[in-house]
Chain A
Amino acid sequence: MLLLVEQSLNGVQFGLLLFLIAAGLTLVFGIMDLVNLAHGSFYMLGAFFAATFAALTGSFLLGALLGLLATLVVGMALDLIAIRKLYGRDHLDHVLGTFGLILFFNEAVRLIWGAGGMNLPLPHWLNASVTILPGIQYPAYRIAVIVVALLVALFLYLLVMRTRVGMLIRAGASNREMVGALGINIKLLYTFVFGLGAALAGLGGLMQAPILTAQIGMGENILILAFVVIIIGGIGSIRGAFIASMLVGLLDTVGRAFLPDFFKLILSSAAASTAGPAVSSMLIYLLMATVLVVRPEGLFPAASK
């Protein structure tokens, strides 16, 4: 019971983290029709920037804030320099161009920060455990991550559904040319959205950095999970991304925690120790395959396309 609660919370936290990555990815795809493989690079950059600024300023919060800003700036700059030229090209061009960018960012990080990775130490007030239910302790930092991610999700919802910028984003998603024809500076909007997506990924990365360390290539594994999330949720749909990331986060975490024990009940221990990790790492892909069979467009297909 205790383990189940703890693992479920871990699953929720992982799911919310995935949501931060997937939301940016799906926004950028929904509006600019751009497949951005380099999205995971922002996740990595966020972690490295935050670790650097935290070490410089001596403050975790200030470091996180500066790291977030720096990722936003890099995202917008990248849009101005390179990504802008990829809009309107076909998806294969996006894949190749942004694949090149991944190589660039990974190597740039290795050049600047070295191959070893970086730690982002937690301040004392976050490095504690709180009692969430009688008898169940849970790390304060993980609760903080859950709260921040939920606030960001709420912020995104309000931004997209309740503001003028959000209206333009939704309009841009359904008909780009028309929005441009109505006198909206569509290029500026694109740069803003791309920067926003980058900042979301950066936030995910810097929040993960204290749990794991900041490492080269950390963005790539999470990127593929984010792909799985938006395939399940329906590309371009933020609501779909939210629900799918919770599903994937919970299934992955809980599956890894309990499936090996479950296999031990029904299989010999040798077979179970082989099958357990293999099957639990396949779970989310099986979920994806199932969703594809039932609804090829994902659970919440964006209405316009």
Chain B
Amino acid sequence: MKRMLTARNVFVAGLLILLVLVPLYAIVTDNLFPLTLYTRIVILALAATSLNLILGYGGMVSFGHAAYIGIGGYAVGILAHEGIYSGFLQWPLALFVSAVTALAIGSLSLRTRGVYFIMITLAFAQMLYYVAVSLDRYGADDGMTIYQRSEFDGIINLSNKISFYYLCFGLLLATIYLTWRIVNSRFGMVIQGSRSNDRRMRAIGFPTYRYRLVVFMIAGTICGLSGALLANQTDFISPAVMYWTRSGDLIVMVVLGGMGTPFGPVIGAVALLLLEEWLSGVTEYWQIILGPMLLLVVLFARGGIEGLLAGASRG
């Protein structure tokens, strides 16, 4: 029987409780900044969780995942710009366009492997970035302000910071549950099998290309949702959210937290964004510290924070 009270499980449970309590802290201290910061963390954790599905479980190193954040955000932003505020239209459109884009990118890039795959997903994402930059009507380089958040009449008011936070948090938990269900299903087993040995999976009769394409689409769709959330949180959308370094940030979150584990991306997102927040308070040139730290994580802490915790609970 598995032990429940391992260091890792306690840590994850503590982190989740902390995340639940953030709005309470904001109310008590009458300081809304932590709430804004943590809403952003939760939204990016959602994006990282979707990347984990293909990167951690599927072994597909997509270096263009931030493109879907941009697509989801622009779906909300463009509709709002044209005077359509209903979330019932905006969000499904965000998901739909993300899914179609992921299908198109995936069907081309999954024909390749390894380093080709990394570079191709990067190149396609950068192409979408340039498309966003050329959208003169929608702010081009500078992006555009979204003057009204998505409307879900009678269900939830997104302008209320606390209910928006809990919406994001709920969606994050739902996504983690979904990921867990997917990877433990027969479908997910095929994906994981294809990560370990794709040739063998095909030899025993699985058309792995189709399986991988479907999971690639699911991941892109969920990431599009996080884009819709992010646009609502910042009331703003610009090409910068889909710049390729953002895709890099997402990979860092997944690997830093521990890839191929359900809560790893959440841990990674919290750790990376808090670290950034802290370092940027210490020095203006904080990336000069963060960069080498990433290199050190790669060299010495391969399993990420999850891996360290799992090691601690074994020892």
Contacts and interface: CB of A to CB of B under 8 A. Distances in A.
Interface in A149-168: none
A253 B111 CA distance: 29
B17 to A, nearest CB: 30
A296 B244 contact: no
Contacts, number: 126
- Classify chain B's interface size: 35 or more
A278 B137 CA distance: 12
Nearest to B249: A99
A35 B112 contact: no
B179 to A, nearest CB: 19
A235 B115 contact: yes
B287 interface: yes
Contacts of A257: none
Interface stretch (A56-64, A123-131, A196-204, A282-290): A282-290
Nearest to A33: B115
Given A228-B123, A278-B134, A91 B298 contact: no
Interface string A266-286: 000000011001100110010
Interface in B85-138: 108-109, 111-112, 114-116, 118-120, 122-124, 126-127, 130-131, 133-137
A274 B136 contact: yes
B32 interface: no
Interface in A70-106: 82, 85-86, 89, 91-93, 95-97, 99-106
Interface stretch (B70-78, B146-154, B289-297): B289-297
Contact of A100 (B119, B133, B293): B293
Interface in A117-153: none
Contact of B298 (A86, A104, A224): A86
Contact of A289 (B108, B244, B251, B294): B108
A108 B302 CA distance: 26
Contacts of A274: 134-137
Contacts of B124: 285, 289
Contacts of A285: 123-124, 126-127
Interface string A215-258: 00000100010011011000100000000000000000000000
B134 A281 contact: yes
Interface in A16-54: 29, 35
Contacts of A91: 61, 114-115, 118
Contacts of B204: none
Contacts of B298: 86, 89, 93, 96-97, 100
B203 interface: no
Interface residues of A, number: 44
A23 B108 CA distance: 25
Contacts of A93: 298, 302
Interface in A186-201: none
Contacts of A107: 285-288, 291
Nearest to B140: A277
Given A29-B115, A35-B115, A97-B298, A224 B122 contact: yes
Contacts of B255: 92, 96
Contact of B111 (A89, A108, A296): A296
Interface in B251-273: 251-252, 255
A82 B293 CA distance: 12
Nearest to B244: A224
B248 interface: yes
Contacts of B134: 274, 277-278, 281
A97 B115 contact: no
Nearest to B294: A100
B299 interface: yes
A171 interface: no
- The winner among A96, A220, A281 for most chain B CB atoms within 10 A is A96
Nearest to B127: A285
Which 8 pairs show the lowest CB-CB distances between chains A and B?
A100-B294, A104-B291, A103-B291, A285-B127, A107-B288, A107-B287, A281-B130, A278-B134
